[in-house]
Amino acid sequence: MSAGKPATPLCEQFGFDASWREAQLTLIGLDDSMREYVHLLQDKVLTRDAASSIVDRFFTQLALNPQASGILSSFDLRHLKERQVEYFKRFGVGFQGADYFESRARVGVAHARVGVPLSLYLESFGMLQCLILEQVMSLTGEQQHWEPLMRLVLKLTTLDIALATEVYHRSQIQDMDRSLKHLELEQKSLRKQLDQDALTGVSSRTSLLRELQDSIERASKTGQPLVVIMADLDHFKVINDRQGHLVGDRVLKEVAARIRAALREFDLVGRYGGEEFVILLEDTSTHTALQIAERIRARISSEPIHVAAQDMLVTISQGLALCGEGDDCQSILGRADQAMYRAKQAGRNCVVEQQ
């Protein structure tokens, strides 16, 4: 959320619109006839002193529970009591309005964020309910109001429990969803790191070998040709020794980019190791593969690579191997590697097909 932007109301976040709120009030039996008793509840039962007394008793009883006591130890008890007194000050006031639902929803979110167990949460609500009812029954000379006030208290606490529990539940689900999305993003990031060579941006060796195995299996099932090209930069050690590894890295990045530019959209190139690249050409004849390899060779050698204020002519030697029956990753890569070494022996900057 950007700075200064107001938070989205919880009722809006959770879909507690006017029709939803009305349905809850109707179910519980809270209507306009209860308004006069809300005023009576505030004036006679939940006075400032009475509310403070209820709150003191509430927290004293909570402290007897080890789990509750452990949670409370992390907070300023005086501040918590003040907030609880404010809770009673607004108890039932304007129960039909969106603001009332919003204030009760915040209670559920706050408890979910703190990590209060749901069982303890509901028991605490029940305890508050009992304390308020006891306060109603302590009224002297007001026995005629006991029954409607007690019904009101039960309805209001039922609404509070239902609303706060609903929000508590949804808030925890939202937190779990966010955690899952965060984990998914982390997994995607890790997968990308595993699948992509950090320097050149082409497929990593791990990803390349996995894709090669899949390609071999597909070729075996479909009968479509699969060609593997082993490509190795010529005299790359000289570049590293004379110009340094930083220059060598920039050369590798540019070579990888030129290889990708020479390939078709569905072809795959990966960094096999050092200055070696492997290209997978599925559903491709050796004739077409030779044309693609030649295009790669031309793109790399026809134009110097500008790096470190100088132009460097770079060439590449390539060996082609056609996947045959019984081939696996090791065997086909081995034949492509042998063909590439024959290209080196033939003077480099050329393409050699397996014998």
- CA neighbor of 342 nearest in space, from 351, 333, 334: 351
- Which two structure tokens, joined as six digits, stand for 118? 């749901």
- Helices and strands: H and E segment counts in the chain: 14, 7
Q: Give the pairing type, strands 226-233 and 276-282.
A: antiparallel
CB atoms closer than 10 angstroms to residue 30: 20
Residue 314 CB partners (closer than 8 Å, separation 6+): 233, 234, 239, 251, 255, 300, 301, 304, 305
Catalytic site residue from 36, 184, 265, 275: 275
Active site residue 254: no
- Give φ, ψ of 25 to 5 degrees: -65, -40
Are the beta carbons of 132 and 45 closer than 8 angstroms?
A: yes
Instruction: Tell me how far apart the 2 most distant CA atoms of the chain are, in Å.
Output: 113
**Catalytic positions, written as ranges:** 275
